Structure 1
Amino acid sequence: MEEARMSQELETRYEKMWEENVWNLGQVEVDSFLRSQTDRRTGITLRIRPSAEVLRKVVAFQRLLMKVAPEQYHYPEESIHVTGLSIVSCSAEYERFDSGLLAQYVDLIDRAIQGVDTFEIAFQGVTLGSVGVLIQGHPDAGLAALRESVRSTIQEAGVFQTLDVRYKIDSAHSTIMRYRQEIQQVEELRELLTTHRALEFGQSSVTHLELVVNDWYHSPAKTDVIYSFQLD
């Protein structure tokens, strides 16, 4: 019952995001950092990588996006992810992290996921945020259980973290395109997105998690995988 309620709430949120943004493509929120050569924002994330089959379908959809919006920022395949938890939110204050702190995170997360089973995320549909295009992720109850276990373990340990400072994450989307500048072909992009609003990307069985030090966009050149965890 609880899983069904959470699923419905998430679907409602995705629909609301779509309705709020699909008719505002002529006035988007441009990410000025995408044009910056001095973006030093760095954070620590526990992230989930979609399956190879899901990624293949996402990349195929991205090719369509690139044809109508080549001027925008399209995430490389290596950067596409679902945020499990943002342990330290990206900030210019944190250009480097002490290796001892990273080792503590590894130990705490490894402890927190003991007994956490693998879970599923179904990727179906596209929606819009104020910053770009998102793939809708629909997780089972396992993702919420994982987040709560890791969150409470880290918070109770008293180590440095910024969990829930920006917001308490409860979504499972994956951002695949960000607005680098105003959209040049607004109607063409709106038509493409509307046509593919319910596109099926497939299902991922989540068996691994990555702890990474990353920039805001999880750029391959600015993201280091610190540890890969395996779920039971």
Structure 2
Amino acid sequence: MNLKEHYNKLYKESIGEISSDNYDIDPMLHADDDNRFGVSLLIRPPVEIKNEIQKFLNELKSIEPNQYYYPNTDIHITVISIISCYDGLELSNLNVPEYIELIGKSLKNAQSITIKCKGVTASPSCIMIQGFLEDSSLNHLRDNLRHDFKDSTLEQSMDERYVIQTAHATVFRFSEQLKQKEEFLELLEKYRSHDFGTFQVNQLELSYNDWYHQDKLVTKLHEFKMTY
């Protein structure tokens, strides 16, 4: 996958939808009875990059203060969704040590992963920071994880037909109608190629998480140190 082409196509199509008021307002964003949980392997960008993202989000907030913005604690890049969020997944029913052992096996001989966070893209439901990869190391790791989980009896919901290849971070969701649509779109264009920073991935986080990865609802299950 050519990430630049993918992000560009997504941006062009989604901005057209947003301009025509065809964007998705998430009815579950502020729901008290949202019991959708899953298990994910995540990358947390360093604080310097997250702070740079917050500068962008603060500008968006000045235009659209009532939308949903991700705080630093919630910003992440998904390596792979091991169990996609569904209503009723209980942490107590999962054999966490076995997940940790299997992932540790998949991480052996992992190559160095470097991610450049540059520019923003969009979908009809959210705004994302674009992540670019220097090489195929992250996708190779994803392939290893899919292979190892497929051969195990652990609960998982990785779909071979939908193979994540991006390295984006969702940072904004629509929670109501835009009130300053033109200014909002202009600001997205301003940050279209903004350099938020580049970092080497030093650790991965295994989490039991809600749909939005809210820090107050996330249980960190394990931290894997990356040794190259």
Q: Same fold (TM over 0.5)?
A: yes
Q: Where does the alignment leave 5 or more consecutive residues of structure 1 unmatched?
A: 1-5
CA distance in 2: counterparts of 1:185 and 1:167, whole angstroms? 35
- For the 8 Å contact 1:27–1:182, the answer to whether it is kept is no
CA distance in 1: counterparts of 2:159 and 2:28, whole angstroms? 23
Shift of 1:166: 8.1
TM-score (norm 2): 0.94
CA distance in 2: counterparts of 1:187 and 1:153, whole angstroms? 47
Shift of 1:134: 0.4
CA RMSD of aligned residues (A): 1.4
Q: Secondary structure at the match of 2:3?
A: helix
The reply on whether 1:206 has 2:193 as its aligned counterpart is: no
CA distance in 2: counterparts of 1:171 and 1:117, whole angstroms? 17
1:14-60 CA-to-partner distances (Å, cap 9, x unmatched) read 00111111132223111111131111100000000112221111111
- For the 8 Å contact 1:71–1:183, the answer to whether it is kept is no
TM-score (norm 1): 0.92
Give the letter aligned to residue 221 of structure 2: I
Which protein has the bigger helix share? Answer: 1
**1:117 aligned to 97, 111, 122, which one?**
111
Runs of 4+ in 1 over 4 A off after TM superposition: none
Shift of 1:98: 3.2
1:72-119 CA-to-partner distances (Å, cap 9, x unmatched) read 10011100000000000001031x123652111100001110111331
With over 3 angstroms needed to count, the CA separation of the structure-2 counterparts of 1:63 and 1:51, relative to structure 1, is same
With over 3 angstroms needed to count, the CA separation of the structure-2 counterparts of 1:100 and 1:183, relative to structure 1, is closer
Give the letter aligned to residue 208 of structure 2: V
Paired-residue identity, %: 32
Q: Where does the alignment leave 5 or more consecutive residues of structure 2 unmatched?
A: none
The reply on whether 1:104 has 2:102 as its aligned counterpart is: no
CA distance in 2: counterparts of 1:16 and 1:70, whole angstroms? 28
- For the 8 Å contact 2:131–2:166, the answer to whether it is kept is yes
Match of 1:139 in 2: 133
CA distance in 2: counterparts of 1:109 and 1:37, whole angstroms? 32
CA distance in 1: counterparts of 2:93 and 2:204, whole angstroms? 19
Match of 1:14 in 2: 7
